[in-house]
Amino acid sequence: MDLKKQFYLISIFLLISPFSQAQLEVNECLDKHYAKKEAIEWMLKSYREVYNFQKTETIASVGAGSGVREIIYSMMTDSLTIHLQDIDPVCLQPERLSLTIRQLYQIRGQACSAFFIPVRGSEQATGLPSRFFDKIIIENSLHEFTHSNEMLTSIRGNLKKDGYLFIGEVIARRKGQKHQGCRRPLFTEEALLQLLDSNGFRFVEKTVLDPNHPYDRVYRFALK
């Protein structure tokens, strides 16, 4: 199914499906942790100034998974368009995605004005439009990329000239340290910055979201 058809399907589901019905439906794509209002509020408070999404911006998330975090981010401002990209978009199928959107917005008690477009990518290319995005985010995924250079080249081509790339990663305290979940090697800060520099990105700033977890960071990059 092409992007335009998926876009309209999700818009229709959101318009015709009542929130009361969404609350009763079982949703395997919505992690219980995020199905709590306090978790949603923490996410919005912690990331609002980091991403600084502005009304009507066009955003992409590469390796979005279920899209739950991105749906929460869409609550920050009005009328965002968010492309949710993944190589295995099981939870990004229109019916599943629309249910997750409705449930999360219901938990917060907010009307949804965002538009969501699911995109299937590959291991070497995002499948996203060229020179199209104000901001692209990669959260806890870059260390899992099997072709990181090719993907970053693809992402560089997706950003507008004045766009930003945000990378959220747990940084290795020592070389060779592995991620507790996927057991793949984590980046040291030096290795991460070098990788981005060699692929045409200029480091702008980094943010530590929680002082109790100083190695969990978000890095912002611009095009060189």
pLDDT tens string, the chain, 224 residues long: the values are 454 445 544 554 454 344 555 555 889 999 999 999 999 999 999 999 999 999 999 999 999 999 999 999 999 999 999 999 999 889 999 999 999 999 999 999 999 999 999 999 999 999 999 999 999 999 998 998 999 999 999 999 999 999 999 999 999 888 878 766 676 789 999 999 999 999 999 999 999 999 999 999 999 999 99
pLDDT of residue 18: 47
Nearest residue to 126 (alpha-carbon basis) of 153, 163, 93: 153
pLDDT of residue 181: 64
Residue 115 pairs in a beta bridge with 81
pLDDT of residue 71: 97
pTM of the model: 0.89
Q: Which amino acid is at 132?
A: F
Look at strands 201-208 and 216-223 and give their pairing: antiparallel
What are 195's two structure tokens? 């990788």
pLDDT of residue 179: 65
Q: Where are the beta strands (DSSP E) in the chain?
A: 58-62, 81-86, 115-120, 133-139, 159-170, 201-208, 216-223
Alpha-carbon distance of 172 to 179, in angstroms, equals 9
Domain ranges across the chain: 3-14+56-223
Enter the CATH code of domain 3-14+56-223.
3.40.50.150
Q: Are 76 and 44 in contact (CB under 8 A)?
A: yes
Nearest residue to 193 (alpha-carbon basis) of 163, 171, 216, 162: 171
